[in-house]
Structure 1
Amino acid sequence: MKGSLHLNQNHRWLGFLLVLLASTLWGINGTIAKLLFQQAVSPIFVVQVRLFFTAVSLFLVLRIFRPQWLRLSPGQIPSLITLGVMLGGVQFTYLYTVSQTNVATAVFLQYTSPAVLIAYLAWRGKEKIYRAHWLGMAFSLIGGYLMVEHSLQITESGLMTGIVSAFLVAGYTLAGQAVGRRVHPWAGLAYGSAIGFIVWALLVPPFTLDWPTANEQWLFLLYVALMATLIPFGLYFMSLKWLPAATVGILSTVEPVVAAFVAWLVLQENLTVGQFIGAAMVVAGAVIVQLRADKPEKAVE
């Protein structure tokens, strides 16, 4: 019994580290994406490159080293289609919001998603929601706002796609959790990315888009595809094997903290006292959830 408890604790901390690493990589991505858009690279093109690269890379690696992970039954296909649509949708809405507003606004709007996720889970009763989840969510939302309030840049189109992005993050978290029960997370990401690419390629064929011509742009695209798509999404879905969806959703809100500090380092954006307070609140929210969320006495009926 003690061995099982110790194993569960280790898995929980591993899940904690995986989602934090994924969020760190995503936080860096916003600044890189903004640099691409400043060079007139289309958000739709970036999405298609991300999905195509992720799908092809994973299929090649898994086909060689873990072919058994790629085997599917007919019952697994609907959940993979849902995941693919969510993955394609969330990447476009986030990147489009960045192009229409700025990194801070896009990240904040997207990371209101824990409120959507927790409200849905509480309503449907699909997962136990603890007081620590609500408290952690409140800390994260308030802290996230303090991180970006000085640089919020709202446009009508950016606000709309930012809100849609938040709902899609909640959606792909739930879809990723469902897929992970039937398919290995890396295989789920491979199929989901392939489906997402096919959907976007049908809606906007790649040959109709303007392709980058500079080597620097392709290097940025390669970085975004590998370090902001393949690796972090894989880590995120792996974390859902060991942590509840609500916990993962709140932990992922450390991304605005990372995004702000990267923008400070790369784009030389100033950090205010309010941002430091906000960063501390986001981190506190993550710690509250990780340390207390799974204790039964905190459950909210």
Structure 2
Amino acid sequence: MTRRLKSFTGIEFLYLVGIVAISFSSIFVRWSEADVAVIAMYRLYLTNVLLLPFVWKYRSSLFRLSKRQWGWLAVSGAMLALHFLLWMASLRYTTVASSTVILTLEPLMVMLGSYWLFRAKANAMMLWGMGIAIAGSIVIGAGDFQLSGTALYGDALSFFGTIAVALHMLIGKKLREGIDAFPYNFWVFAFAASFLAVYNVAQGNAFTGYEASEWGIFLLLAIIPTLFGHYLFNWLLKYMNATAVSMSVLGEPVIASLLAWLLLKESLTAYQLGAGVFILFGVWLFLRYGEKSNRSVPASES
């Protein structure tokens, strides 16, 4: 991704790729029988293994960081680890639609945080777009919400996981102003995976002995939702405001619910499909009228 993007259309395409990619995450987690902390840990470690061939190219920028940047990278990684731990665990207690719809609170949290930290403002049309998308997301997950039992516990895990990823996005936006995409992603993934490794040791979770199919799922998680999802979104933070990037989660319930219907046989009504159209329209509206607020694309990017 070293070539300069000359139009917002190019960014929109990559943005769409990221939405589709992260939507596969819930499916892969459902397929795995490993502990969610183990899944998240290997997902991130394997991502960095895949990035190793590029380490030599970026060797200077990987270590040319201040103590303050190292500290915030660790905090960002901790928030990403907490997000994966809580959100992945939620999928064991509630449906994909219900869990992913709660993630739609992320752009609201990021928007408020962006205004407070960066004085980033959203115009009326952007707010309308966000509102339409969130309303559609609520419709998709409303039929699965329950106020008791394991479903409520799963929804609570998803909610706190959403707070964690919102903080991760805000920290990332600030760090990406001074750190290129590769070192930022590499170290954040490394910190997050290491925090999860410590957690797994404390919980007594096994690091080995998994079937080949489980390792295949770990690898799929590393390639599709992490490299083509999280890495891509962290890269886009250089070109888009944090709220716009976080709006990607509003498209996830649509794609994830369709995938869950096709691959996991979870129910999906025409009513929910119609809501999906509203979500995508709302996301488009937000991005379309938020284009002017995005910074100009720099001449080069790592």
Normalised to the residue count of structure 1, the TM-score between the two structures is 0.87
Matched with 1:184 is: 180
Structure 2, unaligned runs of 5 or more: 294-302
- Cα displacement (A) at 1:107: 0.7
Cα RMSD (Å) of the superposition?
2.2
Contact 2:45-2:190 at 8 Å conserved across structures: yes
Residue 124 to residue 196, structure 1, CA distance change in 2 (3 Å): closer
Rounded Cα–Cα distance in structure 2 between residues aligned with 1:31 and 1:285: 24
Rounded Cα–Cα distance in structure 2 between residues aligned with 1:268 and 1:283: 23
Contact 2:103-2:250 at 8 Å conserved across structures: no
Rounded Cα–Cα distance in structure 2 between residues aligned with 1:69 and 1:62: 12
Contact 1:20-1:252 at 8 Å conserved across structures: no
Contact 1:144-1:256 at 8 Å conserved across structures: yes
Aligned match for 1:67, one of 56, 59, 69:
59
Matched with 2:46 is: 53
Residue 8 to residue 35, structure 1, CA distance change in 2 (3 Å): closer
Identity %: 19
SS of residue paired to 2:129: helix
Contact 1:133-1:246 at 8 Å conserved across structures: no
Contact 2:126-2:290 at 8 Å conserved across structures: yes
Matched with 2:127 is: 134
Greater shift in the superposed pair: 244-253 or 85-94:
244-253
Normalised to the residue count of structure 2, the TM-score between the two structures is 0.86
Matched with 2:71 is: 78
Contact 2:17-2:228 at 8 Å conserved across structures: no
Report the AA paired with residue 55 of structure 2: R
Matched with 2:157 is: 161
The structure whose residues are more often helix, as a share, is: 1
- Cα displacement (A) at 1:183: 1.4
Rounded Cα–Cα distance in structure 1 between residues aligned with 2:89 and 2:26: 11
Report the AA paired with residue 106 of structure 1: S
Greater shift in the superposed pair: 96-105 or 122-131:
122-131
- Number of residue equivalences: 285
SS of residue paired to 1:196: helix
Could you list the per-position Cα deviations for residues 14-33 of structure 1 after superposition, in whole angstroms to 9, with x for gaps in the alignment?
33222221121111121121
Aligned match for 1:236, one of 233, 236, 248:
233
Report the AA paired with residue 128 of structure 1: K
Report the AA paired with residue 29 of structure 1: S
